[in-house]
Structure 1
Amino acid sequence: MLRYATRLARPVLRNTVSSSRSFSTTRLAASQVTSLHTFTEEEEMLRDAVRRFANDVVGPRVREMDENEMMDPVVIKGLFEQGLMGIETSAELGGSDSSFTSAIIAIEELAKVDPSVSVMCDVHNTLVNTVFRTYGSKEQQEKYLPQLSENKLGSFCLSEPASGSDAFALQARAVKDGDHWVLNGSKMWITNSYEAEVFLVFANIDPSKGYRGITCFIVERDMGIKIAKKEQKLGIRASSTCTLDFDDVRVPAENVLGGEGKGYKIAIEILNEGRIGIAAQMVGLAQGAFDKSVPYTFQRKQFGKAIGEFQGMQFQQAEAAIEIEAARLLTYNAARRKEEGNSFAKEAAMAKYYSSVVAQKVAGSAIEWAGGVGFTRETGIEKFWRDSKIGAIYEGTSNIQLQTIAKFIQKEYS
């Protein structure tokens, strides 16, 4: 299993005062200047390892998984064996003991080959594992984090048929019965749910308190969760998205995570982090589509030269490269801010919004660059376009991201 420990290098400030001026200047030592593309040796090693895994293990299975709308068990097993399902979890609990940026790097690299595999890794790491690490009791962490690092897939269950963007209009209910809670209701649009064995389920224990009654429960599959429907989707088809039913599911009282009535706080904070993961997925997707299509434009000749040599094509590709890089930098910036303990909600919303826009634009252009070949399923280019649409929808729609950003602007300027 991979083990990565990362440390961020911080610039060292040196104050110098010029005798001929009445003000001081602050300079960065040249050796300490860093960029958002500056990574630790461990992060670079992780990137290389994930890239090899994605190309060697995931790549040959992408089309079959998409056609079958099912994740290959070999891929899931490989994610665990490579240490990619407990990236930030401590080594003592079976994880890779690495940084949040490392998780973002892994998500991006996987998405270059298959966004379906990327989102499986993303939700498991940035949502499920993070909730356990941040809010779980010592006993809960010691019980579940080793399982989630080694062999059990996790699922985050918040959305319902009547609560999407209004995420806290929950209808699912939990009633105390002795040393158990009895859970009833349903969840919809739940990622990883077909294969998962550990579910974080949000339900209201006191509707009279509104969102303050929302509580997070750790529910294991064998407690009685029913997979009611597996959605057939436009894109990310290998990633399971299911409706779940809870009919008098009995959950031990010790499986309340974070405390009674704390579910709202948990979800709000964790979804901000998860949005950086989705941004990374969209950046990787855009880069994957670009990487598949551009080489073809220098192989395909028309009117006596490669179509990639025509200025109209060159300008489109140059603009796409700029937009991918801008989205990547927004994403890396949000990740580093989160990692360093700075506020990052606005930056996460910006990264998630812009990356989803770029993913759709670049993936659509990539099809056009390859012409008729790009429109066929054989090349896999069209799949990136189908997969890109979800970026504007899950973990907060584009309108929700714009609303979040606007609130920060209003607070700053009003």
Structure 2
Amino acid sequence: MVDFSFTEEQDYFRKMLKGFAKEELLPNYTKWDREGITPKHLWRKLGELGVNGLRIPVEYGGSGADCVTTGIAAEEIGRGDFNLTYAVMLNGLIGEIITNHADEHLKKEWLPEIASGNKILGIAITEPEAGTDAGGIRSTAVRDGDSYVLNGEKSGISVAVSADAFIVFAKTEPRKGNRGISAFIVPSDLPGVEGKGYEDMGNIPIGRGSVYLNEVKVPADHLIGLEDKGFSQVMNGFDLSRLLIGLQCAGAALQSLDETIEHVKNRRSFGKPLATYQGVSFPLVTHYTKLDMLKWQAYRGLWLRDQGMEHSKESASVKWLGPLYSQEAIHECLLLNGHYAYTKEMPLEQRLRDVIGLEIGDGTAQANQMVIAKHLIGKEYRSYEPQVPAKSTNGQNYEGGYQYGID
């Protein structure tokens, strides 16, 4: 039997978040961009609603929700405030990493704080010379008694200037390539940690930037999982974040379509509503159809993850096409709304800027197409891509599975 319906609990959760996004998030979406502020009070509000802790177990202050429910949150929050959806996407990924691989004392210290929204954590993998090829990172972590000393530069890091801590990936055994990378929880207030923001085109409230590590002493018990195994242990988490990104982008685009449909129904030209012209209605239909298909591919990928089944191909397709379809739809909406939409009086121009950023982050279109090609073509293609064994959520190897890092 094939069942495409949500449960009663999921439907209730969706309706609750839809109302919250419309009433509390959407009216202030452009405010944080204009003021250059990360609205931490709203991260805490999302914590009260259970959004931050969806992928965190109940015993650590989360709700232990499934991946499909997490996707619902990404879509609905994306409708109200695209940038606040990072509370779903980042926390979903980080919650899984800490829950599945960190020692108990780290779980007790960090998971309740993440779930409540009191603490914001970032992922620090990408470097100036290592984006899609995340295994090529040069940051180092050298054991020194009961500590590790970290040195290096991380670039393009979300929440670089607002995070309370980062999950930092660094080489503990440089000769082993991907297998010599370890992961650490690094509080941002440790001596030697410095975040410097970028003047980005979009995603302003996220505070993207570089994180510099200069002789940072991190307690040895802040190591996540096994030494030299951090890369392979957590890379599967990006299959989740890529699916959530697709829904995050789709939410922003679908909100734009809804607003534009109301505009073209009410705006008249040559005596008729704009909506009666095929040159207006057909593009809206086209974008809605593409986004609707994308959504169901994303939810299918999340369902597969919930079942512990292979879903890297689905995740890669959603990450590739989600930001692409969404920015195309938002761009069309901007044009259909006319010259006022090109001003900062309307949210369309900001949504366009924000969504474009995720055509880069978490894997470029080309990187995701390479993942799909490997699944379609098989082992013959494997020698042309980075060889990083991927793990399923239950720790089993995917058949011939490999993963990429993020930009």
Length-normalised TM-score, structure 1: 0.88
In structure 2, what residue type is equivalent to 1:166?
A: D
Report the counterpart of residue 18 of structure 1 in structure 2. none
Q: In structure 2, how many angstroms separate the alpha carbons of the residues matched to 1:134 and 1:64?
A: 37
Match of 2:3 among 22, 27, 34: 34
Q: How does 1:197-346 map to 2 (within 5 A)?
A: 197-224=164-191, 226-346=193-313
User: What is the CA–CA distance in structure 2 between the aligned matches of 1:71 and 1:228, rounded to whole Å?
Assistant: 14
For residues 153 and 100 of structure 1, the distance between their equivalents in structure 2, rounded to whole angstroms, comes to: 21
**1:46 aligns to what?**
13
Of 129, 150, 156, the match for 2:95 = 129
**Match of 1:168, SS?**
helix
Q: After TM superposition, give the deviation of residue 275 of structure 1 in Å.
A: 0.8
**Are 1:205 and 1:215, in contact at CA under 8 Å, matched by a contact in 2?**
yes
Give 1:364's match in structure 2, choosing from 331, 346, 349.
Answer: 331
Distance 2:102 2:43 in 1: 25
Superposition TM-score, scaled by structure 2 size: 0.90
Point out the more displaced range, 250-259 or 70-79. Answer: 70-79
Q: State the 1:156 CA deviation.
A: 0.8
RMSD: 1.6
Structure 1 pair 281/225, CA: closer, same or farther in 2 (3 Å)? farther
Q: CA deviation at 1:287?
A: 0.7
Instruction: Specify the alignment match of 2:133 in structure 1.
Output: 166
Return 5+ residue gaps in structure 2 as ranges. 382-407
Residue 363 of structure 2 aligns to which amino acid in structure 1? G
Kindly indicate whether the alpha-carbon contact (under 8 Å) linking 2:121 and 2:166 is maintained by their aligned counterparts in 1: yes
8 A Cα contact 1:83 1:149, kept in partner: yes
Question: Separation in 2 of the partners of 1:394 and 1:341?
Answer: 25
Aligned length: 380
1:413 Cα offset (Å): 9.2
Following superposition, the deviation at residue 174 of structure 1 comes to 0.7
SS in 2 for 1:188: strand
Q: In the TM superposition, what is the alpha-carbon distance from 1:53 to its structure 2 partner? A: 2.1
1:110 and 2:45 are equivalent in the alignment: no
Q: Which runs of 5+ in 1 are unaligned?
A: 1-10, 12-32
Letter in 1 for 2:82: P
Deviation at 1:189, TM superposition (A): 0.9
CA–CA distance in 1 between the matches of 2:167 and 2:316? 23
**In 1, distance between residues paired with 2:250 and 2:296?**
10
In the superposition, relative to structure 1, how do residues 349 and 324 fare at CA in structure 2: closer, same or farther (>3 Å)? same
Q: Which has the higher contact order (CA 8 A, sep 6+)?
A: 2
Are the aligned partners of 2:193 and 2:216 in contact in 1 as well (CA < 8 Å)? no
Contact kept in structure 2, 1:111 and 1:282, CA below 8 Å: yes
In the TM superposition, what whole-angstrom CA distance separates every residue of 1:233-259 from its partner, at most 9, and x where no partner exists? Answer: 111221121211111111111111011
Residue matched to 1:7: none
Counterpart for residue 58 of structure 2:
91
Q: Does residue 82 of structure 2 align to residue 79 of structure 1?
A: no
Aligned to 1:140: 106
Find the counterpart in structure 2 of residue 175 from structure 1. Answer: 142
Contact (CA 8 Å) 2:194, 2:213: kept in 1 or not?
no
The answer to whether the 8 Å contact 1:120/1:192 transfers is: no
Secondary structure of 2:202's counterpart equals coil
Number of the residue aligned with 2:119: 152
Identity of matched residues, %: 27
Checking the alignment, whether the CA contact within 8 Å between 1:51 and 1:109 is kept in structure 2 is yes
Alpha-carbon distance in structure 2 between the residues aligned to 1:166 and 1:155: 19
- Which residue matches 1:101? 68
Shift of 1:56: 2.4
**Contact 1:89–1:133 (Cα < 8 Å) also in 2:** yes
Q: State the one-letter code of the partner of 1:276.
A: L
Letter in 2 for 1:313: V
Instruction: Describe the superposition over 1:134-153 as per-residue Cα deviations: whole angstroms up to 9, x where unpaired.
Output: 11223322222112112211
Q: Distance in 2 between matches of 1:270 and 1:72?
A: 26
Q: How far has the Cα of 1:373 moved from its partner?
A: 2.1
Q: Structure 1 counterpart of 2:142, which letter?
A: V
Amino acid at match of 1:214: I
* Corresponding residue number in structure 1 for 2:345: 378
* Secondary structure, aligned partner of 2:212: strand
Aligned-residue offset at 1:103: 1.1
Say if 2:314 is the partner of 1:347.
yes
Is residue 156 of structure 2 the alignment partner of residue 189 of structure 1?
A: yes
The alpha carbon displacement at 1:398 in A equals: 0.5
Q: Which runs of at least 4 in structure 1 moved beyond 6 Å after TM superposition?
A: none
Letter in 1 for 2:288: A
